[in-house]
């Protein structure tokens, strides 16, 4: 499996799952644009780790929820590299609380980053991918988008929205050589889940047949398959990487 010569953009590539995806795609030969919103030192660390391993990467700041920032960033990326072959829509946030307590802002922030961001970045690369008649768009959803979760109505709505979006765009772009798929992680150890209480973690563990939390690298493996030529006939699909938590 080689991604040599490919240009990949990973949103939220600075930390956690996005970092592991960036490192994996770079290890397979892609030049990886590591996006972040505010943590430039984490993005620099990711890029440095890619370069130390002999790969190519660069950090680019933009907020996936702001269309002007995305337009400007993708214009620059396309001018500099001439193409974007792989887009991984990974950036995401949580603002967890029960429905009765959920404020409009908590709903809007999560929907704007986790769902509108996927729409905006996908739109920004689709014209260039259509012209080159090759592209891979991989959207990171969640087990929660399929199973729901108390306290995460905003997050689950956004992640389930990604499912419908992915299937629709997969149908629109299939004839142009572009595949659009998703990966649905279960519980993965990252900054997003690190601070869960022991009680919550134990409850989650009890629902995972494999009995362990996942690692960011587990998601990177699924993403790299979908980005490769091996997956050329796979579109509109989701790979569930969750230790059996949801079947
Ligand atoms: P982290 O909190 O560890 O990292 C989040 C990343 O997203 C960071 O790189 C952050 O950038 C970036 N980001 C956040 N908001 C924006 C924005 N507005 N614009 C651009 N970048 C942004 O999260 P994870 O690695 O855990 O999660 C990655 C994806 O996987 C998310 O979509 C998440 O919903 C999904 N997921 C995670 C699971 C888990 O168990 N961890 C389970 C299921 C799905 P910066 O460094 O600048 O803050």
Nearest CA to ligand 1 atom 8: 12
- Token duo for residue 76: 């620059």
Residue 155 appears among annotated catalytic residues: yes
Distances (CA, A) of 135 to 12, 110, 179: 20, 27, 6
- Encode the chain (247 residues) as per-residue pLDDT tens digits: 899 999 999 999 999 999 999 999 999 999 999 999 999 999 999 999 999 999 999 999 999 999 999 999 999 999 999 999 999 999 999 999 999 999 999 999 999 999 999 999 999 999 999 999 999 999 999 999 999 999 999 999 999 999 999 999 999 999 999 999 999 999 999 999 888 888 888 989 999 999 999 999 999 999 999 999 999 999 999 999 999 999 9
Spell out where 18-78 has E strands: 31-36, 56-61
Find the helix or strand (DSSP H, E) in which 78 lies.
helix 67-81
Pocket of ligand 1 (CB under 6 A): 11-12, 14-18, 35-39, 42, 63-65, 90-93, 113, 140, 142, 185, 187-188, 190-193
Cα distance between residue 177 and residue 185, in whole Å: 26
Nearest CA to ligand 1 atom 31: 92
Q: Among 92, 155, 165, which is best to mutate for testing ligand 1, by the most ligand atoms less than 8 A from CB?
A: 92
**Residue extents of the structural domains in the chain:** 7-241
Q: Say if domain 7-241 classifies as CATH 3.40.50.300.
A: no
Angle at 210 between CA 233 and CA 238, to 5 degrees: 20
């Amino acid at each position: 499996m080689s991604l040599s010569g490919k240009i990949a953009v990973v949103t939220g590539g600075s930390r956690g799952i996005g970092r592991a995806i960036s490192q994996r795609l770079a290890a397979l030969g892609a030049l990886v644009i590591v996006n972040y919103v505010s943590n430039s030192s984490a993005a620099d660390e990711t890029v440095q780790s890619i370069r130390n391993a002999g790969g190519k990467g660069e950090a680019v700041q933009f907020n996936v929820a702001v269309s002007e920032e995305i337009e400007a960033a993708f214009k620059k990326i396309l001018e500099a590299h001439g193409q974007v072959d792989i887009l991984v829509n990974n950036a995401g946030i949580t603002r967890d609380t029960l429905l009765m307590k959920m404020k409009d802002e908590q709903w809007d922030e999560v929907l704007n980053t986790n769902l509108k961001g996927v729409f905006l970045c996908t739109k920004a690369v689709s014209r260039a991918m259509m012209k080159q008649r090759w592209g891979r768009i991989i959207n990171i959803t969640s087990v929660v988008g399929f199973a729901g979760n108390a306290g995460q109505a905003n997050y689950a709505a956004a992640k389930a929205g990604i499912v419908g979006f992915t299937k629709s765009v997969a149908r629109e772009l299939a004839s142009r050589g572009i595949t659009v798929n998703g990966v649905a992680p279960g519980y993965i150890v990252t900054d997003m889940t690190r601070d869960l209480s022991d009680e919550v973690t134990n409850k989650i563990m009890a629902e995972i047949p494999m009995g362990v939390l996942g690692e960011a690298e587990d998601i990177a493996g699924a993403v790299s398959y979908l980005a490769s030529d091996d997956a050329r006939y796979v579109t509109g699909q989701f790979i569930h990487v969750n230790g059996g938590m949801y079947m």
